[in-house]
Amino acid sequence: MRATRKSKIMSTATKTDNFIGWIGALSVVSAYIVLTFEFAEPKSFIYNILNFIGGTCLCYRVWIDRNYSNVFLEIIFIGVAVYALGRLLIQNV
């Protein structure tokens, strides 16, 4: 009975991890669509926040998988988004 309980806990964690990964993927794709169809500009808040959310969620997801080369890539992605968001905040103050 105890093994079954552990399996359920691991299964829930895996579903949660996958959900977070999907949120990240949808955020990055949404940012791409917003930019490609010119709903927003590269310096817009919505574009950069979508990239930040996507990068953060995907970084978490690939960390769980121990895919460290992609963790590195996502950290760079997050850093660029933070820089862009910071510039936007400073310009709007």
The predicted model scores a pTM of 0.84
Which residue, among 76, 35, 46, has the nearest Cα to 59 in the 3D structure?
76
Which pLDDT belongs to residue 12?
57
pLDDT at 7: 53
* pLDDT of 30: 98
Three-state secondary-structure class, residue 36: helix
Token duo for residue 61? 């997801």
Q: pLDDT tens per residue, the chain (93 residues)? A: 555 555 555 555 589 999 999 999 999 999 999 999 999 999 999 999 999 999 999 999 999 999 999 999 999 999 999 999 999 999 988
Query: What tokens appear for 11 in the block?
Result: 């299964």
Q: Domain segments of the chain: what residues?
A: 18-91
The pLDDT assigned to 93 comes to 81
